[in-house]
Amino acid sequence: MEDENSNNFNPTDYAHEAGYRFPSAQKAIDALRQLARPPVTLGDEKSDVALAALAILGQAMLSPAKLSESVTLIKTNWDPWIGPWVKFFLNLAEQESFTPPYPLIVDKILYVIPLVVTYPTRCDETRESEIKHLAQIVPYLPPSATKFWLKLLRVMHWSLGHWGRLLTTMLDSGRHKGLLDEAYRRHPDELKEVAKSFIKFINAFNQRIQARQADEKHFHWNSGMLHCILASVVSSALHSSFVASGGMKALLIFSAPLFDAQYSTL
């Protein structure tokens, strides 16, 4: 869980480096404006600058004092400068299997994109309307994020939680399940492998809880992932493969301590 990081990419260090390059969200927007549209093919220097700028926009939203300004900057600059780069990087990363070795820029993309596109979840009062608006202007995001999540799950990639959070916060369970079912129909031969990945995650999460290695951050991260998995399995094409591969046994082992704790308080 959250372990596969063959490039030893450190999101915190990367965010700090981006901050040195762009000390403010406005500076990041100015840089994207100077870059204009993305290249037809990957250009290392341009792409590196654009990713760093997007990282700063995402990081700025983590500060309550900068939240309002950052969201406004993202919304007003999405169509001309931000959106084209997001789509460019999604298309670039979709070509990768996420099985090592792969270019370092892929790790940067997998960290930066969820950070930026989940801005509606920071808007407490207008959250639902912001999510609907983003879904309208970025219709390619949900299916693309679903593909990423399934591929990342297979290798237990370190960025898996970021994409799970994107899916659980940006999509209702029905929409999420529909996209997964569509992916399963297109690749029925992969159902068994996906089911095994789900079970591998559940077992690993359980081991961390039993060993008391799941701090609050990791517990919420993994709880969101578990929610995503259960929503993916119920009444879907994956259900039979999940059960046949030992999924119910994994869930029972996982839930047993929770039931024991509940009964001990009665």
Question: Using CA atoms, how far apart are residues 157 and 145, in angstroms rounded to an integer?
Answer: 14
Q: Is 166 left (phi over 0), alpha (psi -120 to 50) or beta?
A: alpha
Question: Using CA atoms, how far apart are residues 177 and 182, in angstroms rounded to an integer?
Answer: 9
- Residue 25 pLDDT class (50, 70, 90 cuts): very high
- Residue 236 pLDDT class (50, 70, 90 cuts): low
Residues 6+ away with beta carbon under 8 Å from 86? 54, 113, 116, 117, 138
Percent of the chain at pLDDT exceeding 90: 28
Arithmetic mean of pLDDT, 93-112: 90
Check whether 96 has a pLDDT greater than 90. no
Distances (CA, A) of 152 to 106, 189, 210, 247: 12, 17, 25, 19
Is 192 found in the same domain as 116?
no
Percent of the chain at pLDDT exceeding 70: 82
- Residue 265 pLDDT class (50, 70, 90 cuts): very low
Residues 6+ away with beta carbon under 8 Å from 210? 257
The range of the structural domain enclosing residue 133 comes to 11-139
pLDDT in tens, 42-93: 667 899 999 999 999 999 998 888 888 888 999 999 999 999 999 999 999 9
Average pLDDT, the chain: 81
Is 84 found in the same domain as 23?
yes
On whether residue 170 sits in a domain, the answer given is no
pLDDT attached to residue 175: 64
Check whether 266 has a pLDDT greater than 60. no
Check whether 261 has a pLDDT greater than 60. no
**Which among 154, 158, 192 is positioned nearest to 2, based on CA atoms?**
158
Q: What is the dihedral of CA 3, 5, 216, 221, to 10 degrees?
A: -90
Residues 6+ away with beta carbon under 8 Å from 258? none
pLDDT in tens, 202-234: 887 777 777 765 556 566 666 667 777 777 777
pLDDT attached to residue 263: 41
Is 199 found in the same domain as 108?
no
Residue at a domain's end among 124, 139, 154: 139
On whether residue 33 sits in a domain, the answer given is yes
Check whether 131 has a pLDDT greater than 80. yes
Question: Using CA atoms, how far apart are residues 247 and 49, in angstroms rounded to an integer?
Answer: 44
| Domains of the chain: total | 2
Is 213 found in the same domain as 123?
no
pLDDT attached to residue 195: 80
Q: Which residue has the higher pLDDT, 140 or 32?
A: 32
Is 134 found in the same domain as 26?
yes
What is the pTM for the complete model shown?
A: 0.79
Report yes or no: 164 and 149 within 8 Å, Cβ to Cβ.
yes
Is 207 found in the same domain as 109?
no
Check whether 35 has a pLDDT greater than 90. yes
On whether residue 181 sits in a domain, the answer given is no
Residue at a domain's end among 82, 114, 139: 139
pLDDT attached to residue 127: 81
Is 217 found in the same domain as 123?
no
**Which among 27, 31, 26, 74 is positioned nearest to 50, based on CA atoms?**
31
pLDDT attached to residue 67: 87
pLDDT attached to residue 262: 45
Is 135 found in the same domain as 208?
no
On whether residue 100 sits in a domain, the answer given is yes
Check whether 172 has a pLDDT greater than 70. no
